[in-house]
Amino acid sequence: MSEGRDPIRDVAEAVLGGLRQIGDCSYAIMPKDIAHSLAGLQKALLVQITTALQWDMEWIDDRVAGGDKLRDKWREKCEQQTSHASQ
């Protein structure tokens, strides 16, 4: 029994194939050394962006942890004030 073709996958593969071809052509029209230098520059830029995003995610994690500590501190203070007020 043969399986049916998945039209969505066929379209996706065709689009990706077209984009790959455009990408190949965009580098092929440049001299080899310039194409390789540009690719290196693009990769270096992506590394910097990745590093910045990683730093930002760590910063967010630290702020959430700081917020948790502050919330616990407020809760303890509120409980202390409530227990003193009821005495």
pLDDT band at 15 (very low <50, low <70, confident <90, very high): very high
Residue 53 CB contacts under 8 Å (≥ 6 apart), including other chains: none
- 25-83 pLDDT, tens digit per residue, is 999 999 999 999 999 999 999 999 999 999 999 999 999 999 999 999 999 999 888 88
pLDDT at 2: 53
Task: Flag whether 35 is in a domain.
Answer: yes
Task: Flag whether 17 is in a domain.
Answer: yes
Task: Flag whether 1 is in a domain.
Answer: no
Number of domains in the chain: 1
Domain containing 48: what range? 7-86
pLDDT at 4: 76
Query: DSSP assignment of 8-67, as one string?
Result: HHHHHHHHHHHHHHHHHHHHHTS-HHHHHHHHHHHHHHHHHHHHHHHHHHHHHHHHHHHH
Is pTM beyond 0.75? Reply is no
pLDDT at 17: 97
Task: Flag whether 39 is in a domain.
Answer: yes
Task: Flag whether 2 is in a domain.
Answer: no
Task: Flag whether 37 is in a domain.
Answer: yes
